[in-house]
Amino acid sequence: MRIDIFTLFPGMFTAYLDESILKRAQAMGQLTVHLHHIRDYASGKHRITDEPPFGGGGGMVLKPEPIFTAVESLLATLPHEGAERERPPLILMTPQGRPFTQTIAQELAQHAHLLLLCGRYEGVDERVRTHLVSDEISIGDYVLTGGELAALVIVDAVTRLLPGVLGAEGAAASDSYATGLLEGPHYTKPADFRGWQVPDVLRSGHAAHIARWRREAALRRTWQRRPDLLLTAPLTEADKWFLRQLAQETALSE
């Protein structure tokens, strides 16, 4: 996958991109990231990228021209430039966008190429939103100073879904949300830490028992923390039976 990021602060990305899984994904050739400094596309001696808002009020707004020029310059280098259906999605980072979820990460991971646009200050000129971007994503109901962290969140969540990036040992398939449930707890060595024991079943070597314990632990955790997920999660008859037991236990203990 190729990801192009448009930002006023390209230096903010390098430390995160150059470590751990994202570094490995790039070394494997599964991920290529191109950072575009919006200021490089601003005209005039001072390369101004932002101006005060029309109508007054505080803050600055990112001007449309440098952003259009940056994006269109890139699109011009791609094959079949201009054909709408060939264009990779251009996603604006904004607290007003659709809330980012694992389902959206899976959707984005199907694309070969993504363009991410980071706002700053009061955000981007509305004409960028209405005439240039094709999608808008928020990483949560709070306001950050800029879209760079949001873009990194998307790059990270999408990259770990690309084939081979996590390797078999870290497969994303059993992660929270991927199964429709929260994942259950994990334990590692030592088996006894300050008198707190690892559940015996996890040390039993009995694969079927371990799988059932993990499934029930995931159901229990989801029931406790995110019962809303149980309305849409794919559940087996055994899962439903376990949840009925859990409901009875809860009712008895209240």
CB 67 within 8 A of CB 38: yes
Q: How far is the CB of 29 from ligand SAM (least distance, A)?
A: 29
Q: Which of 95, 120, 129, 148 is catalytic?
A: 95
Query: Tokens 């101004």 belong to which residue?
Result: 48
175 is catalytic: yes
Q: Which residue is nearest to ligand SAM (CB)?
A: 119
The answer to whether 10 contacts ligand SAM (rule: CB under 6 A) is: no
Taking CB under 6 A as the criterion, the residue among 50, 66, 74, 95 binding ligand SAM is 95
Site for ligand SAM in 98-137 (CB under 6 A): 118-120, 122-123
Q: Which is nearer to ligand SAM, 5 or 218 (CB)?
A: 5
Taking CB under 6 A as the criterion, the residue among 23, 127, 143, 211 binding ligand SAM is 143
Site for ligand SAM in 173-202 (CB under 6 A): none
Angle at 111 between CA 141 and CA 138, to 5 degrees: 5
**Binding range to ligand SAM, per CB under 6 A, among 74-82, 143-151, 166-174, 238-246:** 143-151
CB 57 within 8 A of CB 117: no
47 is catalytic: no
Q: Which of 65, 87, 122, 239 is catalytic?
A: 122
| Closest CA relative to residue 142, chosen from 92, 93, 90 | 93
**Tokens in use for 221?**
């955790």
Segments of the chain assigned E as strands: 2-7, 32-37, 50-51, 61-62, 90-99, 113-117, 135-138, 192-193, 196-197
Q: Which is nearer to ligand SAM, 98 or 240 (CB)?
A: 98
Q: Which of 65, 136, 156, 175 is catalytic?
A: 175
Per DSSP, 6 falls in state E
